[in-house]
Copies of this chain bind each other. A is one copy, B any other.
Amino acid sequence: MSQQRTGPTDGPDFPDLPEATVARLPEYLRALHHLAEEGHDTVSSEGLAAAAGVNSAKLRKDLSHLGRTGTRGVGYDVTLLIDQIEQVLGLTHRRAVALVGVGNLGHALAGYAGFGSRGFRIAALFDADHGRVGEHINGLVVRHIDDLPEVVDEESISIAVIATPAHAAQNVADRLVAAGVTSVLNFAPCVLNVPEGVDVRKVDLAIELQILSFHEHRKSALTALPGRAGQDLQRADRLGAEAVGS
């Protein structure tokens, strides 16, 4: 991994990063801020990889996309690398975010302390329920969803979080896009249809658990223990037979 790459570019102006690299940059950023707070000026790729929970070869490859960032034998300059990653992620100014849906989850998100310190400001809260409009949450007043276009314009909002029930989410997404929002973080358990140029990321809490369930199931199948694991193993045997024989 000693070659020093300059990243391929998407046009002359912007590095065209693999999506998986983009997803890991915030992890590196968090680890770097932590190192800076502890007084470190430089960090080795091994040290940064361990702090971010990835392997160091993957980290070096990811950072190579940003250009020449490390010095052999010295490592990465912590402050410089923070600046580079924040520039790529567009975190050099704090972004205003709208949150739609102030049920249990919306309340939790509105009060999530992690946003402010990581480049974001919840600038507006919306709900379709007139009973909730006017409620104060963390210093913000809940507005009616009909006020969306006006507020998105006033606050220069381009990112929105949808925390509504699934049945309401597509309509909310349509209204957000019509108001000018171009990135959506969707907590509703459904697929959103959005026009080209609008980015959606989805957090589905049940899906995360289902992925863990797969790993539980696999571990049970591979470890032939008495009791529950034994039953899972029998089930996996049948499954294996079907997968090969059907």
Residues of A within 8 A of B (CB): 6-7, 9-15, 17, 22-23, 25-27, 29-31, 51-53, 66-68, 84, 87-92, 95, 97, 103-105, 107-109, 111-112, 114-115, 118-120, 156, 158-159, 161, 182-185, 189, 191, 197, 199, 201, 203-222, 228, 232-233, 235-237, 239-240, 242-244, 246
Contacts A12-B240, A14-B240, A15-B239 given; 11 further ones with Cβ under 8 A? A9-B243, A13-B239, A15-B243, A26-B211, A29-B210, A30-B207, A67-B244, A90-B217, A108-B108, A161-B209, A197-B219
CA distance A26 to B114 in the complex (A): 28
List the B side residues contacting A84 at CB < 8 Å.
239, 242
Instruction: Report if A206-B26 is in contact (Cβ < 8 Å); known contacts: A95-B213, A159-B212, A182-B216.
Output: yes
CA distance A86 to B205 in the complex (A): 17
- Choice from B88, B104, B221 contacting A14 with Cβ under 8 Å: B221
List the B side residues contacting A219 at CB < 8 Å.
182, 197, 199
Let me know if B95 and A104 touch, CB within 8 A. no
CA distance A52 to B202 in the complex (A): 12
- Choice from B91, B103, B112, B209 contacting A213 with Cβ under 8 Å: B91
Copies of chain A in the complex:
2
Smallest CB gap from A83: residue in B: B242
Let me know if A211 and B201 touch, CB within 8 A. yes
Instruction: Report if A95-B243 is in contact (Cβ < 8 Å); known contacts: A13-B221, A89-B210, A206-B26.
Output: no
List the B side residues contacting A112 at CB < 8 Å.
104-105, 205-206
Let me know if A204 and B13 touch, CB within 8 A. no
Let me know if A209 and B115 touch, CB within 8 A. yes
Let me know if A67 and B211 touch, CB within 8 A. no
CA distance A206 to B27 in the complex (A): 10
A14 vs chain B, min Cβ distance (A): 5
Instruction: Report if A89-B213 is in contact (Cβ < 8 Å); known contacts: A30-B189, A111-B104, A221-B14.
Output: yes
Could you list 16 A-B pairs, sorted by A, with CB under 8 Å?
Answer: A9-B244, A13-B222, A14-B222, A14-B236, A15-B243, A29-B210, A67-B243, A67-B246, A90-B216, A112-B205, A114-B204, A119-B206, A183-B212, A199-B212, A199-B215, A201-B212
Let me know if A211 and B158 touch, CB within 8 A. no
Smallest CB gap from A159: residue in B: B212
